[in-house]
């Protein structure tokens, strides 16, 4: 199995983004997804800056994929999407049907986790249009994914969201701005101050969600490190690690070790994690590995 580094969900400064990917050149990841998927207002990097990063990562032997917005609202969002889809060098990850429409019949592309591909019929339809890899929606269970795997088109690769805060929902509203009691139009890109999102707690101090601008994520990270054997048996081709400002390298090396036969016994996590969706349960739950 390969390891991919998913798109950065948060808003980081240009320096942080560039430093992160300079380090990533040396990490044992095979595929790197670049670009903004959450909010069109986040423009710390221009397209040319992203392409510079893409070129360096390609030189470092990584496969680069340009990722795209999940929620498009303004016409300018659509124009930007058209530019990305028209690029001649890199695969594109579609996260909205607008992107699928623009990419259809123009060569291979990737179905991101925000495309609602819940069954084999939809996957086969998307394959006919040129999709060659899909990231199942995060709420799909291992059992469901395995059933789709049984009939997936021959050229299709499957990439599972294996580590990180789960992207659970999108809104027109910015919850970061709302938390600070300002409107989205006056947000001043304040989410740059939350490089790992902002924790949302219940009145009993349980960390329920993570606010990331217009996106809500899980309150604790999903961690499928102990499922790599099962994933391999199901024919999953790629595990996706979702970037955090800190500790991403540690996570990547842990997965790399597990995938290379170094993961003898299940890892005891020292921080809360969830894997409920994988077992067909509420996503926030955690089940120990179900081995034999």
Residues 221-280 interacting with other proteins (rule: CB under 8 A): 276-277, 280
| Residue 121: its H or E element | helix 120-129
Beta strand pairing call for 198-201 and 207-212? antiparallel
**Gyration radius of the chain over CA positions:** 18
**Of the two residues 16 and 144, which places its CB atom closer to other proteins in the complex?**
144
132 binds other proteins (CB under 8 A): no
CA distance 195 to 192: 6
7 binds other proteins (CB under 8 A): no
Backbone angles phi, psi at 210, to 5 degrees: -125, 125
CB count, 10 Å around CB of 248? 21
**Of the two residues 56 and 281, which places its CB atom closer to other proteins in the complex?**
281
Binder among 199, 260, 262, 290 for other proteins (CB under 8 A): 199
74 binds other proteins (CB under 8 A): yes
For residues 132 and 157, the answer to whether their CB atoms sit within 8 Å is yes
Q: At what angle are helices 142-150 and 120-129 packed, to 10 degrees?
A: 50
Choose the binding region for other proteins from 45-53, 65-73, 157-165, 226-234 (rule: CB under 8 A). Answer: 65-73
104 binds other proteins (CB under 8 A): yes
Binder among 86, 179, 245, 247 for other proteins (CB under 8 A): 179
Choose the binding region for other proteins from 12-20, 42-50, 139-147, 232-240 (rule: CB under 8 A). Answer: 139-147
283 binds other proteins (CB under 8 A): yes
126 binds other proteins (CB under 8 A): yes
Binder among 15, 185, 268, 270 for other proteins (CB under 8 A): 185
| Residue 156: its H or E element | none
CB of 218 to other proteins, least distance (A): 6
What tokens were used for 259? 């995938």
Binder among 97, 108, 155, 269 for other proteins (CB under 8 A): 97
173 binds other proteins (CB under 8 A): yes
CB of 258 to other proteins, least distance (A): 25
CA distance 292 to 289: 9
CA distance 164 to 6: 9
Choose the binding region for other proteins from 21-29, 183-191, 233-241, 252-260 (rule: CB under 8 A). Answer: 183-191
For 288, counting Cβ atoms within 10 Å of its Cβ (0-12 exposed, 13-18 middle, 19+ buried), the class is exposed
290 binds other proteins (CB under 8 A): no
For residues 289 and 226, the answer to whether their CB atoms sit within 8 Å is yes
What tokens were used for 157? 């690769």
120 binds other proteins (CB under 8 A): yes
Instruction: Report DSSP state, residue 138.
Output: T
Binder among 93, 96, 159, 227 for other proteins (CB under 8 A): 96
Residue numbers 140-169 binding other proteins by CB under 8 A? 140, 143-144, 147-148, 150, 166, 168-169
């Amino acid at each position: 199995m390969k390891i991919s580094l998913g798109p950065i969900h948060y808003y980081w400064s240009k320096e942080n983004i560039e430093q992160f990917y300079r380090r990533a050149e040396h990490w044992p990841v095979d595929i790197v997804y670049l670009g903004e998927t959450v909010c069109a207002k986040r423009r710390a990097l221009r397209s040319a800056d992203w392409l510079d990063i893409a070129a360096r990562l390609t030189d470092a032997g990584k496969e680069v994929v340009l990722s795209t917005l999940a929620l498009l609202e303004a016409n300018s969002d659509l124009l930007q999407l058209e530019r990305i889809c028209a690029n001649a060098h890199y695969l594109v990850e579609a996260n909205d049907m607008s992107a699928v429409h623009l990419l259809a019949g123009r060569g291979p592309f990737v179905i991101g986790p925000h495309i609602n591909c819940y069954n084999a019929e939809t996957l086969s339809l998307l394959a006919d249009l040129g999709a060659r890899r899909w990231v199942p929606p995060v709420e799909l269970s291992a059992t469901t994914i395995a059933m789709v795997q049984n009939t997936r088109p021959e050229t299709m690769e499957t990439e599972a969201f294996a580590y990180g805060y789960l992207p659970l929902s999108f809104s027109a509203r910015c919850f970061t701005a709302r938390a600070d009691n300002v409107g989205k139009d006056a947000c001043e890109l304040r989410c740059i101050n939350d490089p790992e999102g902002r924790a949302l707690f219940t009145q009993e101090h349980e960390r329920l969600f993570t606010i990331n601008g217009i996106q809500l994520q899980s309150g604790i990270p999903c961690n499928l490190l102990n499922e790599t054997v099962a994933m391999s048996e199901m024919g999953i081709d790629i595990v996706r690690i979702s970037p955090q400002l800190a500790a991403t390298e540690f996570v990547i090396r842990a997965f790399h070790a597990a995938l290379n036969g170094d993961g003898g016994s299940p890892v005891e996590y020292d921080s809360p994690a969830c894997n409920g969706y994988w077992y067909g349960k509420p996503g926030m739950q955690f089940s120990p590995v179900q081995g034999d």
